[in-house]
Amino acid sequence: MADEADDEELSDSSLVVKQYVSDVLDFSSHYGSDLSMNYTAFNIIGKPNVYPSYGDYADTFLLRTFGPWWENAPSACKSFKFKNRNSFYGQDFIDLKFEQLVYPIRIDIYETYNPGSVVRILAFNAHNCEWHLLWQGSPSSNHIFESRIFSPFIKTTPFLTNLIRLEFNHYHADYYTEIDAVMLIGSSVSLCTGNNIAKLFCENSRKKSTEQPLSNGVDKWDNSNFKEKKSESSYFDRLPHEVINLIVGYLDLPSLCKVARLNMLFYNHCYDSLLYIELDLQACWEKISNKTLIGLQSRCCNLQKLNLSWCGHYERIAPQSFINFIENCGSQITHLRLANCQFINNECLRCFCLICTNLIELDIRCCRQKALDQSGFQEICRLKHLSQLNLYRTTIDVQSIVSIARNCPALEYLNLGSCMGINNFDDVVIELAQHCRKIKCLDLWRAKSLTRVGFLAIANRCQHLQELDVGWCTDLSTAGECLAELARNCPKLKKLFLTAIRTFRDADVAAVSYYCPNLEQLDILGTREVSPVAVLRALHEFKNLKYLDVSFCTQITNEVVDHWRKVFPATSIKKSFQMNLSHSSDTS
């Protein structure tokens, strides 16, 4: 944290600019609805509304997931090995725009609930379209039960910026992370010119910063200008080809590029296409550009799994560059992840749906460009072998998803969370239940138009369900006996999220605990008619329950939850709260 003396000197200078977020350009998830302001990413704009209070407040930015439970759920696609991700922690991100261009001095993050999930801060240089790391640290595993202003010591930059990215890792978080505001403190003059502000800040940063130095990575991914260097006496080249390949196979992509420049022996091994069967570019998303895809084409003739999530923002990857890469390297791809890829448009979708005919997994969550509309989504119908499809926060409509359901009968995992373009979820789930009989995981988070008609179609025809999320499906308020019907017909359920289903009753709790003995995760947040007696009985019957959320269940008090936590230590029982702190703080 910055010292008060630093703040006083900074505030006295006319060169210092303090500003809060003016716009949110992109983000990977938020708890709220795109049709509301509660818990959305856009609550981070402007001055703090909640700080210094601590607790669960609707007018903050709330990430949708936390802890290990989402990654341990049946829907957690683990098709990638994700080897050598030692320097990449990010699970979520948000891109923040500020009004004025400045040389960053400090960034204040107002964390008002479960702080400690920020792991990286980056700044965007619009002049050369490159990201620069300002700070990186580990997520906090210590539970902090008070709000705070997190101000890590950041690196100075030789360029002006007004675009900052925050990355989060909330695997260790005990509950949802909430952020109230972000302030960027910067200088109108370069911090590298020797002015007093720069000296003050840099000297304190060197004294107090615990950040470990990071590798600069590799900017040139194509070693076409490589000249062989004759190595001195070595026995390494006497090893069998397979053994050398096994050794270099432990390297991540930037390391492979570096090692390939040592000599011709390593060049040949590091360019072996068998090392590029699985390509995880998300781990180094800030380095990926058009040149990267061009440089990788010669190595990816056997590519089967490609993760480009988060890559190519702000025109670093052009749609045509991606199309060229897929045309040259995509014929064998079975798993494709493109979450938050701004370059994805109708032509990109058409390209890989035509070429990647054996595609099993497709993740295009948060791809919301204007150039991606229903004519693009319709192309997904070509993927007859598709098993896993993530469409979270896309603009897909009813006609497109119905066509996909009819033409992709192998679907087992489908995420339609926050798809506001679907105005009749009953028609959608009826088609899914009829044609996709193998469906195991169905995410209908905030499916506002889902009623008991569609819910009964799921309950009666989707007997293989292991995971169902109907959180905040407000038209299910008259579900009645539907929940008991679901439990009776879907005994394989392991995760059931019924967030804010107000009519969930004691009888429904009893039905779920009786018919679904393998249940591991249950969310009944906001249910008003469930009694502590019914939940206690269910806790005794659930032998595998690892997660239970009873936040805002009006009949269940904090004292009762504290007692349950002692009696059932194997179950992580959640109940959020609000706390008004007595101290005050200057947030100007």
pLDDT at 204: 43
| Tens digit of each residue's pLDDT (9 = 90 or more) over 113-150 | 999 999 999 999 999 999 999 999 999 877 788 999 99
| Tens digit of each residue's pLDDT (9 = 90 or more) over 46-64 | 999 999 999 999 999 999 9
Q: How confident is the model at residue 219 (pLDDT cuts 50, 70, 90)?
A: very low
Q: Any bridge partners for residue 133, and if so which?
A: 122
Question: Does residue 86 register a pLDDT over 50?
Answer: yes
Phi, psi (deg, nearest 5) at residue 119: -120, -20
Nearest to 90 by CA among 236, 283, 244: 283
Residue 11 domain flag = no
The Cα–Cα gap between 241 and 383 comes to 37
489: helix, coil or strand? Answer: helix
Residue 89 domain flag = yes
More confident residue, 110 or 8: 110
Q: Before 52, cis peptide (omega within 30)? A: yes
The Cα–Cα gap between 166 and 118 comes to 7
pLDDT at 302: 95
The Cα–Cα gap between 364 and 344 comes to 9
* Structure token digits, residue 382: 């070509």
The Cα–Cα gap between 194 and 451 comes to 65
CA distances from 459 to 17, 408, 429, 451, 462 (A): 57, 21, 11, 12, 6
Residue 24 domain flag = yes
474: helix, coil or strand? Answer: helix
Q: How confident is the model at residue 560 (pLDDT cuts 50, 70, 90)?
A: very high
Query: How confident is the model over 478-494, as a mean pLDDT?
Result: 87
Is residue 179 within 8 A of residue 44, CB to CB? The reply is yes
Residue 45 domain flag = yes
The Cα–Cα gap between 104 and 93 comes to 19
Question: Does residue 523 register a pLDDT over 60?
Answer: yes
Q: Which residues are within 8 A (CB) of 514 and not within 5 positions of it... i.e. 6 or more apart?
A: 487, 541
More confident residue, 233 or 389: 389
Nearest to 366 by CA among 429, 320, 315, 420: 420
Question: Does residue 457 register a pLDDT over 60?
Answer: yes
Residue 538 domain flag = no
Question: Does residue 87 register a pLDDT over 60?
Answer: no
Determine the structural domain holding residue 181 and report its residue range.
16-190
Among 58-67, 217-226, 263-272, 377-386, whose mean pLDDT is lowest?
217-226
* Structure token digits, residue 147: 């709000």
Given the DSSP bridges, would you call strands 467-469 and 441-443 parallel, antiparallel or unpaired?
parallel
| Tens digit of each residue's pLDDT (9 = 90 or more) over 254-279 | 888 888 888 888 888 888 888 899 99
pLDDT at 210: 36
More confident residue, 550 or 209: 550
Concatenated DSSP letters for 35-69? TS-TT-GGGGSSS-SSTT-EE--TTSEE-S--TTT
Residue 185 domain flag = yes
**Distance from CA of residue 139 to its chain's centroid?**
15
Among 97-101, 200-204, 296-300, 327-331, whose mean pLDDT is lowest?
200-204
| Tens digit of each residue's pLDDT (9 = 90 or more) over 9-47 | 555 466 899 999 999 999 999 999 988 899 999 999 999
**The domain that contains 25 carries what CATH number?**
2.60.120.260
The Cα–Cα gap between 351 and 400 comes to 17
Q: Which residues are within 8 A (CB) of 540 and not within 5 positions of it... i.e. 6 or more apart?
A: none
pLDDT at 213: 32
Q: How confident is the model at residue 233 (pLDDT cuts 50, 70, 90)?
A: very low
**Encoded amino acid at 538, one letter:** A
Residue 202 domain flag = no
Mean pLDDT, all residues of the chain: 88
Nearest to 517 by CA among 537, 535, 543, 497: 543
More confident residue, 365 or 275: 365
Q: Which residues are within 8 A (CB) of 280 and not within 5 positions of it... i.e. 6 or more apart?
A: 80, 82, 83, 85, 253, 307
Query: How confident is the model over 215-234, as a mean pLDDT?
Result: 48
pLDDT at 235: 72
Residue that has been written with the tokens 């107090």 in this structure: 208
Query: How confident is the model over 376-397, as a mean pLDDT?
Result: 97
Query: How confident is the model over 237-249, as a mean pLDDT?
Result: 83
Biggest CA–CA distance in the chain, Å, is 79
Nearest to 66 by CA among 95, 39, 43, 36: 39
Question: Does residue 214 register a pLDDT over 80?
Answer: no
Residues written for the chain: 588
Residue 50 domain flag = yes
Ranked by mean pLDDT, which of 34-38, 510-514, 578-582 comes out on top?
A: 510-514
* Tally of domains within the chain: 1
pLDDT at 222: 53
Among 209-218, 277-286, 365-374, whose mean pLDDT is lowest?
209-218
More confident residue, 247 or 464: 464
More confident residue, 9 or 477: 477
